[in-house]
Structure 1
Amino acid sequence: MTDLLYTDVEDELRSSVRSLLADRVSQPDVVDLKLWRTLAVDLGFAGLPVPESAGGAGASWRETAVVLEELGRTVAPVPFLGSAVLATAALLGTGDPLLDALAAGSRTATLAVPVSASGLLPSVALVDGALTGTVTSVVDAAAADVLLVPTADGLYAVEAADVTRTPVVSFDLTRPLSDIVLDGAPGRRVGDASLVADALTAAAALLASEQLGVAEWCLTTTVEYVKTRRQFARSIGSYQAVKHRLADLWVQVTQARAVARYAADCLATGNPDLPVAASLAQAFCSPVAVKAAEECVQLHGGIGFTWEHPAHWYLKRARANASSFGTATQHRARLATLVALPTP
């Protein structure tokens, strides 16, 4: 039977990450490469699922999911999703030396697919050993040293210095996007094109843990606020309508934790149920994170709608994540196929 409870190691890992982020993240804005170096190099969190033989920590994706929960709690502006999840998931098991560098934190990479991709390959062509094409809205590309570019022939590692990266306006400024233009860029083949689908499934499964972290922060912060905010000589948290809204949200966040933990465990253990677990995680956790962020803004009243309060960062992260690696609607449609639901 799958054990979804946090282990002692995972609890200690959470405590370490939370303590670091509490000291280093205040109002997120742009990518903090110093914080990323601390996480990736000093603490070794970039290589948690990578075997020790490949320079990693020899842990699993479950530990990576715990880190993502804490990054979600602070909407930390670091390229963890692109490098430690997408790129690492694509290279894991290939034996490519780039994986060693990613695990050590000496290099940073990302998968050159649109952040909204849910399985389709971008239109990049391989001509005479060089790559040509355009990929839009690539997550964490601005901070990457290497881009993993999928083609119909396979997955290629391309030095970021050999492509043109143009920043695009992102709804979530803590997770910048870039358009990539390849004009005869040299590439080194690292594996088959099937690696892309595996990486996107892993990203969908693990993004649920970050969404859980966002939702938990929003719920906890809002509960604390309504206990102290007084109106008509009583705390607003004592009103039945407010209690009901937060109680309903607590139930949803608790359910989201179970769903996200199951998806992370399936990824960590190679469970064949992973495609179902990943799509279920996005179909459920994505709307919960958005709901929690919206309730946080609304129940904080006037202050919740100001730039000075951090609630807007969480709403932006939740909304941006809701369209990353497939929307909840797309994943529900995929679930119907995966579990063979009858067509009405």
Structure 2
Amino acid sequence: MTDLVPSQDHIELARSVRKMLDKRSDSQAVRDAFNGFDAELWSTLCEQMGVAALAIPEESGGAGFTLAETYVVLEELGRALTPSPLLASVTAAAALTDSPLLEEIAAGTVATLAWSGVTGPADAPVGVTFEDGKLTGSVSAVLYGDVAEIILVAAEHDGGVGLFSVDPSAVSRTKVAGLDPTLSFATLEFDGVTAETITLDAASALATAHRVGTLAAAALQVGCAQRGLDMTVDYTKTREQFGRPIGSFQALKHRMADLLVRVQMSRAGAWAAVQAHVNDAPNADRLAAAAGSYCSDAAVEVGGETVQLHGGIAITWEHDAHLILKRAQALNQLFGLPHQQRATLI
């Protein structure tokens, strides 16, 4: 049965995560974790709230919940702009079935999926080959590829595309400078790296990972857009012009009302797509693509308006408004651009 709105349990989970992030992931904490993540906060989230284990089955060491619970956590992480490897780990875990690696991921070990589909559509060319037990090629940019302790690699072989795991110490990893300092990327190079085969037919696993990754990114986008809207509304209540708060001007009211509609529609669309995935609905792929497209566009629009409506202060390094726009633009590049997501609906 599809839950059209979050349950009371989901609401309480969101409150608990928000309470922790308000204390541990304020503006200064976010900046301190630029180009990486706060390992202590990540450990606390995993040990006290089990965020990495939520969508992993109990028999694989997880909590046995669903992607819906993970979505709730990701939206709060998006709202706080928290640098976190949860998106990378959730995507990697979605490509695995009955693997011992799932237990490690559930415990908080950072995992990533080195596959061109993470930064592109599901049918993006694969740049790594598997032959005689070894991987050759490169993948860029890989989410948290510079720090991941579990690396899964999609690679072509004579029979198609398979999924493999490698020893991180055997991989050449080069950190990639990005627009958004709250996300981390790296280029991974494989020069005859010995690999352990997970499956030689990874088509279904990668399709699932792409759908889950799209929905996980949408959750971050909804949270990011909500943060931008909240900041903008608060600012226009205090910034005065001509003796009045600028939020009292009708033109700005209309612009913020439009942003509210975008945020609410994003949240509704993403939640519907997550529920379709959880319930294995026939239209789950289409809803995920629709949510990915809409949430990407909406987050970028809200980020742009956040900067515009804050005025000159928004482009200063000290203010957080520019971080909203940078996060929105970076997430926009993951799991296919909006127009590529829309193309799958035709």
Q: Which residue of 1 aligns with 2:166?
A: 158
Cα pair 2:126 2:156 within 8 Å, conserved: no
**3-state SS in 2 of match to 1:170:** coil
Q: Which residue of 2 aligns with 1:97?
A: 100
Report the more deviating stretch, 197-206 or 237-246.
197-206
Say yes or no: does 1:168 pair with 2:158: no
Name the CA distance, whole Å, in 2 between partners of 1:190 and 1:26.
40
- Map 1:43-58 → 2, pairs under 5 A: 43-58=49-64
* 1:126-174 deviation per Cα after TM superposition (whole angstroms, max 9, x unaligned): 1211111111111111120111001134100112111000011111111
Report the more deviating stretch, 23-32 or 241-250.
23-32
Q: Which residue of 2 aligns with 1:6?
A: 6
Name the CA distance, whole Å, in 1 between partners of 2:176 and 2:217.
22
Identity %: 44
Residue in structure 2 matching 1:232, options 242, 249, 254: 242
CA offset at residue 235 of structure 1?
Answer: 0.6
Residue in structure 1 matching 2:311, options 298, 301, 310: 301
When the two structures are superposed, what TM-score results if normalisation uses the length of structure 2?
A: 0.93
* 1:101-129 deviation per Cα after TM superposition (whole angstroms, max 9, x unaligned): 10121x22100024422112522111211
Say yes or no: does 1:82 pair with 2:85: no
What one-letter code is carried by the residue in structure 2 that aligns with 1:213? G
- Map 1:169-318 → 2, pairs under 5 A: 169-191=177-199, 192-194=201-203, 195-318=205-328
How many residue pairs match? The answer is: 332
Cα pair 1:69 1:212 within 8 Å, conserved: yes
Say yes or no: does 1:35 pair with 2:38: no
Residue in structure 2 matching 1:113, options 98, 102, 115: 115
Say yes or no: does 1:15 pair with 2:15: yes
What one-letter code is carried by the residue in structure 1 that aligns with 2:112? T
* 1:305-325 deviation per Cα after TM superposition (whole angstroms, max 9, x unaligned): 211111111110100111111
Q: Which residue of 2 aligns with 1:340?
A: none
Name the CA distance, whole Å, in 2 between partners of 1:16 and 1:22.
10
Q: Which residue of 2 aligns with 1:122?
A: 126
CA offset at residue 271 of structure 1?
Answer: 1.6
Unaligned runs of 5+ residues in structure 1 are: 337-344
Name the CA distance, whole Å, in 2 between partners of 1:253 and 1:13.
20
Cα pair 2:46 2:52 within 8 Å, conserved: yes
**3-state SS in 2 of match to 1:45:** coil
Q: Which residue of 1 aligns with 2:24?
A: 24
Name the CA distance, whole Å, in 2 between partners of 1:280 and 1:60.
20
Name the CA distance, whole Å, in 2 between partners of 1:267 and 1:35.
29
Say yes or no: does 1:133 pair with 2:137: yes
Cα pair 1:135 1:179 within 8 Å, conserved: yes
What one-letter code is carried by the residue in structure 1 that aligns with 2:202? A
What one-letter code is carried by the residue in structure 2 that aligns with 1:108? V
Name the CA distance, whole Å, in 2 between partners of 1:272 and 1:63.
21
Cα pair 1:121 1:150 within 8 Å, conserved: no
Unaligned runs of 5+ residues in structure 2 are: none
Cα pair 2:81 2:224 within 8 Å, conserved: yes
When the two structures are superposed, what TM-score results if normalisation uses the length of structure 1?
A: 0.93
Report the more deviating stretch, 35-44 or 49-58.
35-44
Cα pair 2:2 2:279 within 8 Å, conserved: no
**3-state SS in 2 of match to 1:187:** strand
CA offset at residue 245 of structure 1?
Answer: 0.2
Name the CA distance, whole Å, in 2 between partners of 1:305 and 1:312.
6
Q: Which residue of 2 aligns with 1:146?
A: 150
Name the CA distance, whole Å, in 1 between partners of 2:120 and 2:255.
33
Q: Which residue of 2 aligns with 1:60?
A: 66
Cα pair 1:205 1:277 within 8 Å, conserved: no
**3-state SS in 2 of match to 1:216:** helix
What one-letter code is carried by the residue in structure 2 that aligns with 1:303? I
Return structure 1 stretches of 4+ with deviation > 3 angstroms: none
